[in-house]
Amino acid sequence: MHTLLLNVPMWLRRPGTHLSTGSPCIRSSALPSRTPRGERMSAVDDLRQSLQAEADHMLSDLLYTEKSHFAAAERGQRSHLVFGGIAAVSAAIAAASVIGQWSPVVAAVAALVASALSAVLTLVNPQESAQKHLDAGRDLAALKVELRQVRNLDLAADSTLDLADVRRNLGEFANRKSEIDRAAPGLGERSFRKASTKIDQGNFAP
């Protein structure tokens, strides 16, 4: 049988048949690709990169929010010192004017300034607001450290931690960030602008 097939001229043979057996040939390109492990590795790498990008975004958000709260706390403390100092000086001038029998106008004006600034300090309470901003900034700084460890260690290429756990941890970080934001006083554009300027100048490490 083999001899007869071998004697058949080449131009009579059907294309795609084996020379010795006459059976159809299967080209290597037609064979199914068996790379399930490679596909799984590619999917894992894609997920790791996505989680790294999300962690980087959260770190940036934490950095800017943290430094904005510190800037607001600094402004609040400065306002408290300025207003409190002026109120104290005005009260002292008013008392001295009465005791020294100075001009009644000076005494009245000084007393009015001291009273007004005292009312402002009581109503606005910049010191209390500054403390709340300071506490929020510290909480965000601590959260940023934890998140940075996850980004640099748990999402490293040689990490054996399950990426599903890392993703769940990132969700918990986002929830904690939201809780801190809700409890903290609001931030104005001025504080954010000041923090952004310092960050862009490289004054703060990420």
DSSP secondary structure string for all residues of 100-127: TT--HHHHHHHHHHHHHHHHHHHHH-HH
0.85 exceeded by pTM:
no
pLDDT along the chain (206 residues), means of 10: 44 45 45 54 86 95 96 87 75 69 71 73 79 96 96 91 93 96 93 91 71
pLDDT at 205: 60
DSSP secondary structure string for all residues of 28-87: GGGSPP--HHHHHHHHHHHHHHHHHHHHHHHHHHHHHHHHHHHHHHHHHHHHHHHHHHHH
Name residue 17's beta-bridge partners. 24
Name residue 24's beta-bridge partners. 17
pLDDT at 34: 47
pLDDT at 35: 52
Helix (H, G, I), strand (E, B) or coil at 17: strand
pLDDT at 4: 41
pLDDT at 141: 96
- Kindly state the DSSP code that residue 31 receives in the 8-state scheme: S
